[in-house]
Amino acid sequence: MVKVARGNGRDDLLNSAPDGAEGLHAGLAAGIPGGVDVLPVGLRGMTHKMAQVFAAGAAIGTLGGLIGLGGAEFRLPVMIGMFGFAALHAVILKKPMSLAVVAAALLFRIRAAPLDMVLAHWPVVVNLLAGSLAGAWLGAGWATRMRHQTLYKIIAALLLLIAVALVAGHSLPGHGKPLLVGPAQWVAGLLAGFGIGVVASLMGVAGGELLIPTLVLLFGTEIKLAGSLSLAASLPTMIVGFTRYSRDSSFEALGQNKPFVLVMAAGSLVGAGIGGALLGIVPSAVLLPLLSAILVISAVKVWRHK
């Protein structure tokens, strides 16, 4: 067992872990106040827990598929509360999962929004990316310098924001007139993209809950096309955030938890397919308030997380 000093999330290990199972996740304990085991709670006896990890990923993917999103907003509180990861490690581990799910979702949506239609709207994507790429880089840098408890509080607040956006975004009209035009629209898109990039990077999410309302309201985009454009903008944004996280020592958590990441990502992809197949069966009037309530409860639990 390895103990760590109390601190700001960046303290060095006081003792070296032995080889074998206890040493597998040695980097994960660094900075967790109070001194804890090197293995997150849900990963003790990893061989026997992979089914649980896959099931959790599938459930999250199904929820995401039901609302047309990647489900990353549900994955983060599960990784913190159920599997015992520290906030920063959960965000980093979630990044490659979200990348895989978003890339797959973009391919799955080609029938709903053909590629040539997406490419025809490249100025809108570029406008948002001009802000979101910078936001993603800065957001990841801020996350790596925060105390764990501060990051928990910020994540909880952002979960509440997404819960509101989830309900508001899905009550939008199918399409409408742009809120702004000309240079004012470009500046607003730049600022909106920056804010979305920061949120996406801090939480390890694609940001579709915020991108889709922005595309519909600010640019007057048809809502189905907005879903595909949001994915096209999310991929580069997530890659930039992922690259920034890779420069930090906490990124070692990814290498130490490859089985967890691969299994949960596989479960998420399966679940996304199931959710997509069930899309329309569960009434939105019931589903969206329920999922928003789940996010609110998760936000409270993350806020109180020690």
Q: Tell me, what's the pLDDT at 106?
A: 74
Residue type, 72: A
Q: Tell me, what's the pLDDT at 209?
A: 77
Q: Tell me, what's the pLDDT at 70?
A: 66
Q: Tell me, what's the pLDDT at 194?
A: 96
Q: Tell me, what's the pLDDT at 23?
A: 36
**Residue partners of 35: CB distance under 8 A and separation at least 6:** 3, 4, 5, 6
Is the pTM above the cut of 0.85? no
CA distances from 2 to 12, 19, 34, 42, 167 (A): 11, 12, 12, 17, 44
CA 280-281-283 angle, 5° bins: 75
Q: Tell me, what's the pLDDT at 77?
A: 87
pLDDT in tens, the chain (306 residues): 333 333 343 333 333 333 333 333 433 333 333 333 444 544 455 555 888 999 999 988 887 777 666 677 788 889 988 888 988 899 999 888 888 888 877 777 666 667 788 888 999 999 999 999 999 999 999 988 888 788 888 888 888 888 887 777 666 665 567 888 899 999 999 999 999 999 888 888 878 778 888 888 889 888 778 878 888 898 899 899 999 999 988 888 898 899 999 999 999 888 877 876 776 676 666 767 777 887 888 888 888 776
Residue type, 222: E
d(CA 18, CA 25): 11
d(CA 258, CA 93): 9
